[in-house]
């Protein structure tokens, strides 16, 4: 069974972003693999370790530096990488519908039995690409997955819902998006990082895919959210209760 995993390069989760009227300042900011994509890669590699998968192919769309993100996936254990090269802004201008259409092209040529993505990227927070891709391919989908079992060409998926969890059964091929609780991603060890340098990454310009990537949603402007007024520190519980009763009038 072949597994395709999609990874995105985003601003590191711990960075406090600086907002400009046209977007978020991405100059000299630490970038990393989107945390949900790391979980997706880990799940793909675990399938290989369980001998369910035979090959794990990682794909990323983005600038030259997206290759670093692919190298990280290769160092974690993916077998080879596909880099779709573009210079458009990944958080605003390369949007989920375009990404899903590009990934659908990759699925057409690679024919994986299982496609895994993160449930959302922490920059644009759209949470759309996986379900888009499943819809375009007319594959079953399992979003927000926290547990996966694949046996006999069938997948049993536990997914997180608003009220708890539910379990679904799907045939393969399937598109799955990973929630935080699906697994704990491993750290790439130094020998594996060295080995990853020898693994192949195939790079192709985005234009070769013949997909219209014009942004469907236009950003008029970006602003910081309204700042909260600075609060006070209270010395004890009694003062806190008094303030909540009389000043804030919330209890």
Residues 170-229 that bind another protein (CB under 8 A): 170-171, 179-181, 216-225, 228-229
Look up residue 120 and give its two tokens: 């959302």
Q: Shortest distance, CB of residue 75 to another protein, whole angstroms?
A: 24
Cα angle 92, 94, 98 (rounded to 5 degrees) comes to 135
Q: Among residues 41 and 56, whose Cβ is nearest to another protein?
A: 41
Residue 16 CB contacts under 8 Å (≥ 6 apart), including other chains: none
The CA-atom distances, in angstroms, between 4 and each of 48, 59, 91, 109, 173 are 12, 7, 22, 11, 11
Return the SS3 of 85: strand
Q: Minimal distance in Å, beta carbon 133 to another protein? A: 8
Other CB atoms within a 10 A radius of the CB of residue 73 amount to: 32
What residues numbered 117-156 form the site for another protein, per CB under 8 A? Answer: 119-120, 122-136, 138-144, 146, 156
Handedness of CA 6, 10, 12, 17 (dihedral sign): negative
Per-position x/- string for 51-90, each x denoting binding to another protein as judged by CB under 8 A, each - no binding: ----------------------------------------
The yes or no reply on residue 34 touching another protein (CB under 8 A) is no
Among 42, 79, 91, 113, binds another protein (CB under 8 A): 91
Residue 34 C-beta: closest distance to another protein, Å: 12
User: Shortest approach of another protein to residue 7 CB, angstroms?
Assistant: 17
């Amino acid at each position: 069974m072949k597994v395709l995993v999609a990874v995105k390069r985003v601003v590191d989760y711990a960075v406090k972003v600086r907002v400009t009227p046209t977007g978020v300042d991405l100059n000299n900011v630490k970038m990393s693999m989107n945390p949900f994509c790391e979980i997706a890669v880990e799940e793909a590699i675990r399938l290989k370790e369980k001998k369910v998968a035979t090959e794990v192919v990682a794909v990323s769309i983005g600038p030259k530096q997206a290759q670093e993100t692919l190298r990280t996936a290769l160092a974690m254990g993916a077998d080879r990488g596909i880099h779709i090269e573009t210079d458009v802004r990944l958080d605003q201008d390369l949007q989920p519908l375009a990404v899903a259409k590009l990934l659908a092209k990759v699925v057409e040529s690679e024919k994986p039995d299982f496609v895994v993505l993160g449930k959302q990227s922490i920059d644009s927070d759209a949470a759309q690409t996986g379900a888009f891709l499943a819809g375009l391919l007319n594959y079953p989908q399992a979003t927000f997955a926290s547990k996966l079992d694949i046996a006999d060409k069938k997948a049993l998926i536990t997914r997180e819902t608003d009220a708890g969890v539910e379990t679904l059964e799907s045939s393969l091929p399937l598109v799955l998006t990973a929630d935080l609780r699906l697994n704990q991603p491993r750290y790439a060890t130094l020998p594996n990082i060295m080995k990853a340098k020898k693994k192949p990454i195939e790079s192709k310009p985005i234009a070769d895919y013949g997909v219209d990537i014009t942004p469907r949603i236009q950003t008029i402007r970006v602003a910081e959210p309204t700042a909260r007024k600075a609060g006070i520190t209270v010395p004890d519980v009694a003062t806190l209760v008094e303030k909540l009763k009389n000043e804030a009038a919330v209890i």
